[in-house]
Amino acid sequence: MDMQSGMRLKSFACVKIIVLLMGIYVIAPSDTKAAPATGTTMISSMQSPLFVQSIPQIDISVGGNSEGEGEDFSLAIQALILITILSFGSAFITMMTSFTRIIVVFFFLRMGLGTQQSPPNQVLIGLALFLTIFIMKPTFDTINEEAIQPYVNDEMTQVEALSTAAVPLKEFMVKQTRDQDLLYFMDMADVSTVNDIEALPLYVAVPAYVLSELRIAFQIGFMIYLPFMVIDLVVASILLSMGIMFLPPIMVSLPFKILVFVLTDGWYLLVQSLVESFN
């Protein structure tokens, strides 16, 4: 036992010595010094791939003027700002496209059928996403032609590209927005009547559009839910008349609801109605 204890103490001491040496090596300053940066140092000397060189660099500066003078952010701050924008990008995209109406209607359909988690959320969200791309394709093509391609070709600045890209989105949202909702948010924001879509702020157009989308989605959801509710009532009445009170009506009505939905080609009619509702 004494020999084993001694061996353990020696092993523990060796480990402590190794950790101490590694800590000294890491903390100790290196003898090599980096060469001082001069005005002739060019970062662009590092060759980048061709597909990277064709995309303009995003410049973020503070206190600059129209000639591009100003104090640039460090690379770490630029990366932090870019990650923050990307994290909120999904919310902005879903709020300014047809995704909201489609996904709400799909969830109403699943609740009306009473199938719990079938179809799963991944399937419904994926179908809603691809339907959104299909519906928004003309708008995305316009943004690509009028904003993205000129910006890639250095024909406009970042601010001009963002302003140009917002115009097709605002046109799409205004066409789907109820006038009452749009006027309400314009009054709340103290925005006078605008004659041009470019003058309409996004912070007014987006909430008005989302409110109108939720209203339309709930109307469609009611029309979907109504026939399924009738089937539930009929099945519950039949079970009560037969004296079967301990059998949940949802277990009996679920096959009938699925059968009715399949026989009427419900998925085709629902997707067709959703796509045509945006035209």
Question: How many domains does the chain fold into?
Answer: 1
In this prediction, residue 130 carries a pLDDT of 92
Return the half-sphere exposure (C-beta side, CA atoms, 13 A cut-off) of residue 178.
Answer: 10
In this prediction, residue 25 carries a pLDDT of 47
- For residues 85-105, give the mean pLDDT: 84
In this prediction, residue 218 carries a pLDDT of 94
User: Is the pLDDT confidence value at 5 over 80?
Assistant: no
Q: Regarding predicted confidence, which is higher, 246 or 228?
A: 228
Enter the tokens of residue 8: 């353990």
Q: Which of 120-129, 152-161, 248-257 has the highest mean pLDDT?
A: 120-129
* Residue 187, domain extent: 78-222+266-277
Domain membership flag for residue 54: no
- For residues 98-105, give the mean pLDDT: 92
Query: Rounded to 5, what percent of the chain is helix, strand, coil?
Result: 70, 0, 25
Strands 61-62 and 71-72: antiparallel
pLDDT of 220-232, one tens digit each? 999 998 999 999 8
Domain membership flag for residue 82: yes
- For residues 6-29, give the mean pLDDT: 50
Domain membership flag for residue 88: yes
Domain membership flag for residue 33: no
Domain membership flag for residue 247: no
Domain membership flag for residue 117: yes
In this prediction, residue 117 carries a pLDDT of 83
Domain membership flag for residue 210: yes
In this prediction, residue 8 carries a pLDDT of 54
